[in-house]
Structure 1
Amino acid sequence: MRCVHKILAIIMSSEGTEPEAQEQNYQKYKSLKKYQEAVDCLSAAADECQQTSNVNLENLISNCDNCVGLVQQLADKEDDRLRKFALQQLLTSVGHSLGSLKAKKDQLNKGHEPYVKDATSISTDNAADKHKTQRKLIVEDTIIRKGSISFQDVAGLTEAKEILREAIIMPIQYPHLFTGGLKPWKRILLYGPPGTGKSRLAQAVSKEINSTFYCVSSADLISSWVGESEKIIKELFHHATQQEGRSVIFIDELDSICRSRSSSEEEHTRRVKTELLRQMEGADNMASVEKIFLLCATNRPWELDSAFLRRFQKRIYIHLPDREARKAILHLNTASSSAVFSAEDLDSFADNTEGFSGSDLSNLILSALYEPVREVQKATHWKETTDGKFTPCDESEPDSIKQSMRDIQPELVQPRQITIQDFLKALCTSQGTISQAELHKFTEFTQKFGHCG
């Protein structure tokens, strides 16, 4: 598009396009008017191309089409060789773009690429294959391999883990148990405040099973091209049904694409929701729906459309960690630091962190773990340990050595062991991020629709 603007700028700045010439020669005035109309069409098309979403393909094609017609008329009547060459170059450039846009439109409307004759003679078969390959690559990029997180690495949430074992793990490991009227759950929604472990639970599921696990976000499903998002969703579920055994699709931040429908929302948004609902119910292949388990997570369940809520057989509230879970989180996050805490220390930590989410606690613990490192940087006196390393000490201690950290070889610097006091100190600058008003909304939703995990 930039090269097109440059070509038009050259043409309009050439001799014979000044206002005086318009008055002297009506034909030149008409030509100048067509030049301006072509610029306006091209500018409108360029503005549309800058859109990151909701691109109006019809408007884009219309502007390019009008520009081609105007430029063709100008080229036919132009006698100046330089201008005629520039107009022909412009015609080739816009014609190429127009052909691509029409091919894209036909692909979205009919599912295949028509033959479009333009300067580059676009190959329709190759274009169709390219788009199909791109959708397949998008889906395959969401597949994650077994991670290192297991259910044992997720503190608390005992009931949620049990439900996920019943819904996903047991049907895969013991399929003979689920016969007759007993069928495994197909769709489960995890909801709760941010940082409570919803995504971590999903990662743990991927380690526990030997089937294909898709981890999807709204960014993976939404395309700026109208109609392409629905095809990506369809490709995701189709790809999952082609795998051996039962596949698991995890969609995080579901509220970003499944908010309540309204009369004011855009048509393409409504089509995306409709396609996802169709795939959840196995509209294309009822037999294939048995091969897919859908696990979704959201921080704002009350914003979900009621049609989506109804389709989840279990809606599990992933609440803030309770007292015992907070102690377990402390153990998990300090396991590699060789820190030892007494029962009183753990009670003190649990008492002072009520209302913290799992993410809040992780940040608090990380801040506390930094305390010995901060002391190392400021230390002025050191003592040598039995293994030949140096650790900070008080200047009153026997055999203390006055020096800074820079005077010691880096590999010999040894910070002190972390204590519960470091956590209490970190609490002075750390607060929970979940308000009581938010918790009240989750409680109300759970009473109406949910199941406490």
Structure 2
Amino acid sequence: MAAGGSRKQLATPPDSQELSLTKSYRSAATWLECAASECSNTTGIAVEKVLRFAEHCLSHLEHILVHETHPVKKAAALQLTDSVKLIAVGLEGKFQRLTADRNAKQRYTDDYHVQVKEPEKEPEKDQHQKADNCTITSRQLTVAATIMPEGNIQFADVAGLEDAKAVLKEAVVLPVQFPHLFQGGRKPWRRILLYGPPGTGKTRLGQAVSSEIDSTFYCVSSSDLVSSWVGESEKLIKELFQQARRVDQQAVIFIDEIDSICRKRSAKEEEHTRRIKTELLRQMEGVDNDGSGDSFFLLCATNCPWELDSAFLRRFEKRIYIPLPDKLARIALLKGRVKTTSCDMSEQDWEDLGSITDGFSGSDLATCCDDAIYEPVRELTKVSHWRITGDIVLPSSQTDCNSVPLCDVPSNQVQVRPVCKTDFLKAISRNRPTVTTEDLIQYETFTQSFGHKG
């Protein structure tokens, strides 16, 4: 009987809602494939066409998000929507800045977009020019893809690090808010290096800088700047700094793990690696500055400052040490991580946790919090007695309560107890600090020689 009912259900034709969803899936995939095909065009990329394809794809994805009920499919559609929006924002933002009006937009298209239609016979000089234009278009898109959307992280959201935040405020925020105070010989810091143990908030500080001011935020890694083609890496670095100088508003270039491309030079290193470092040094010094170099701010982060070449260290006007969080910062990080979770904790409990987590980095504390809030869930598999209160079922250790296995309890009624201090103590015993005493000594030695306390 059950099998017959199952066959009957399978034979039921899909309703109009299911057909509409299927059509939206197919349409979104088609427009996404068109955008990918245009981006892989070896004769030039039409940015406007890619943006139009992305817009059509997003319209169908929005229809899917509204009507899709399957949680896994809806989560996948949401992730794809965020990815398409992120790429489209980078392309559209760069395209709008380079095209202030319709005439400028036409000039930009003529300069950087190569028409697919070609004459039957073309002079060799024009063919070389076409290849150069196509390469320029690729660099423009590569750099535009590093532009991050406006974030919502403020300096107040970063626990501790008051000295580092003060230096960044006087370097970036104050010159934007009070430009008349930074004239003549009073110049703000433009090149700052953040260094310290991993997981102490260096990247988060960079995001906070971008949120505090109305800026274009370039989040760059070594993979964005290093190319397998000879000479292309230097051109990408030059294009990045040129774009940052051309934007109308303040621009922030954040290069994470700068030590991966700025290690100490030696006679044994390869020639293309030396050329990359030389070009980056030129751009940091402002050799190609055309008078608009004060429009961008360079912020770099590293966990190994002693591996940087001395020429790069000299060009950083401020080298700020981002240490491990102190006790107050650790308590703030713990509370902030579990603020959306029910906790049965007193202020004294938080004080005790702040003391016993000495030596933990911000990422270590986040790992401990994530482990601690799972403890009440882990107990559900071991509980055999339950206390029923209205529509809520809670685990209980009392034998006079209902004794049923977990699989027989209605899933929508099961609740867990609040997180307590014991859960944190268990998590801390399983997760130890990732920064050793030897590492801290090395950071302190470098700070005494080259750095500033942050």
TM-score (norm 1): 0.71
- Matched with 2:331 is 327
- Matched with 2:413 is 412
2 CA distance for matches of 1:382 and 1:128? 72
- Matched with 1:269 is 273
Question: Aligned to 2:398, which of 381, 395, 398?
Answer: 395
- Superposed, which structure 2 residues align to 1:5-44 within 5 Å? none
Q: Assess, with a 3 A threshold, how the Cα gap between structure 1 residues 172 and 340 changes in structure 2: closer, same or farther.
A: farther
Shift of 1:125: 3.4
2:214 and 2:250 in contact (8 A); partners too: no
Question: Aligned to 1:124, which of 124, 128, 141?
Answer: 128
1:153 and 1:332 in contact (8 A); partners too: no
Larger Rg: 1
- Matched with 2:374 is 370
1:326-364, Cα deviation, whole Å (9 max, x unpaired): 100011101111324222201210121111110011001
1:445 correspondence with 2:446: yes
- Matched with 2:233 is 229
Unaligned runs of 5+ residues in structure 2 are: 1-119
1:88-146, Cα deviation, whole Å (9 max, x unpaired): xxxxxxxxxxxxxxxxxxxxxxxxxxxxx99xx99433322221111111111111111
Q: Assess, with a 3 A threshold, how the Cα gap between structure 1 residues 392 and 180 changes in structure 2: closer, same or farther.
A: same
Q: Could you say what secondary structure the match of 1:366 adopts?
A: helix
Q: Could you say what secondary structure the match of 1:384 adopts?
A: strand
2 CA distance for matches of 1:218 and 1:173? 32
Shift of 1:286: 4.9
2 CA distance for matches of 1:176 and 1:344? 48
Shift of 1:213: 0.8
2 CA distance for matches of 1:340 and 1:241? 52
Tell which deviates more after alignment, 443-452 or 123-132. Answer: 123-132
Tell me the amino acid that sits aligned with residue 303 of structure 1: E
Q: Could you say what secondary structure the match of 1:212 adopts?
A: strand
Shift of 1:409: 2.2
Deviating 4+ runs (over 6 angstroms) = none
- Matched with 2:91 is none
Q: Could you say what secondary structure the match of 2:418 adopts?
A: coil
Tell me the amino acid that sits aligned with residue 138 of structure 2: Q
1:188 correspondence with 2:197: no
- Superposed, which structure 2 residues align to 1:336-375 within 5 Å? 336-375=340-379
- Matched with 2:243 is 239
1 CA distance for matches of 2:159 and 2:331? 9
1 CA distance for matches of 2:382 and 2:153? 36
Tell me the amino acid that sits aligned with residue 178 of structure 1: F
2:159 and 2:333 in contact (8 A); partners too: yes
Shift of 1:283: 0.7
1 CA distance for matches of 2:433 and 2:215? 37
Shift of 1:379: 1.8
1:316 correspondence with 2:317: no
1:168 and 1:184 in contact (8 A); partners too: yes
2 CA distance for matches of 1:362 and 1:224? 37
1 CA distance for matches of 2:405 and 2:180? 67
- Matched with 1:301 is 305
1:379 correspondence with 2:380: no
- Matched with 1:28 is none
Tell me the amino acid that sits aligned with residue 126 of structure 1: K
1 CA distance for matches of 2:215 and 2:398? 60
TM-score (norm 2): 0.71
2 CA distance for matches of 1:338 and 1:170? 39
2 CA distance for matches of 1:340 and 1:177? 50
Q: CA RMSD in A?
A: 2.0
1:232-270, Cα deviation, whole Å (9 max, x unpaired): 000000011111122110000000000011111111111
1 CA distance for matches of 2:180 and 2:163? 24
Tell me the amino acid that sits aligned with residue 361 of structure 1: L
2 CA distance for matches of 1:232 and 1:128? 14
Question: Between the two proteins, what is the percent identity of the paired residues?
Answer: 55
Unaligned runs of 5+ residues in structure 1 are: 1-116
1:149-195, Cα deviation, whole Å (9 max, x unpaired): 22222111011111111111121222222122211110000000011
Q: Could you say what secondary structure the match of 2:434 adopts?
A: coil
2 CA distance for matches of 1:224 and 1:125? 22
